Amino acid sequence: MSADASRILERLAVESLERCVVKLSKVSVGVWHIDKTNISWGTMEEAIRQHSFNNDAASAVYFDIKGGFPFVAMIIFEPRDIECIAKCFLGYAFPRTQSLRQSEELLLSELGNIILNSFIGSMCNVLKISFVPSAPKCVHGEPQYLLEAFGATMDLKQNFRIITVTLSIQCDKAVTKSEVIGIIPGKLEAEIERIFKFSF
C-alpha cells in the first residue's frame, strides 16, 4: 500500500487519540500523552509482539469491528502497573494481589473503552458508517494466549497494516505505557486512501 495511505491512517489515529488524552488529563489525576507512533505491515502475532511483555503477560482490551470494512482495535496494558493506572484514572489504587482481580479488569475495560472508541469513531466518521458501541473484550495472559483469543475472529496468518500509538501515563513519579493498536486490512486501507484522494 502507498505511503500516502500510511500517513493518512497515522494522522487519523494520532489526531483522535490526542483529543482523547487531553480530555483524560483534564478529568483524571494522571497526565496522559502520546509517546510515539509506528506504522508497519505484518501479522497479528507481529502486532502483539510489539508489546514488551514484562513478566511474560499482558492485558488486552479490544473491539472486533464487523461490517463491510472490518478491523480490530486494541489497547495493551502492563498488568504489573495496574496500581499506577488506577491511581492515574481513579485517583486511588487497589490493594495489590498476584492475579488481576475483577475490579481491575473492569477498570482496564472501561479505560480501554474510552480510548478505543475515540480511535474507532474517527475511522467510522471517515468511512461514513455507524458503529454501535458494545462491551469491549478483555483478555489477560502470555502472547500465545492473546493470539488464541484473537484467532477466534480473524486469520492470524494474514498480513495487515498495523498502526501502533504508544501512550504514556504519569502520576507523581510513577509512569506506565500502553499501546493502542489498529489492525487494518488492505481493503479498509485502500478505501480510506480512495476517500481522501477524492475529498481533497
DSSP character string of the chain: --HHHHHHHHHHHHHHHHHHHHHHHHHSSSEEEEEEEEEEEE-HHHHHTTS--GGG-EEEEEEEE-SSS-EEEEEEE-GGGHHHHHHHHHSS-PPP-SS--HHHHHHHHHHHHHHHHHHHHHHHHHHT------PPEEEEE-HHHHHHHHTTTS-TTS-EEEEEEEEEEEETTEEEEEEEEEEE-HHHHHHHHHHHHHH-
**What domain range is 169 assigned to?**
3-199
pLDDT tens for each residue of 157-192 = 899 999 999 999 998 888 999 999 999 998 888 888
User: Which of 21-25, 89-93, 133-137 is the most confident on average?
Assistant: 21-25
What is the pLDDT averaged over residues 82-107?
84
pLDDT tens for each residue of 141-155 = 888 888 888 887 788
pLDDT tens for each residue of 46-82 = 888 877 776 678 899 999 888 888 889 999 998 888 8
CATH code of the domain containing 92: 3.40.1550.10
Q: Which of the four pLDDT bands, split at 50, 70 and 90, describes residue 198? A: low
Domain count of the fold of the chain:
1
Q: pTM of the entire structure? A: 0.91
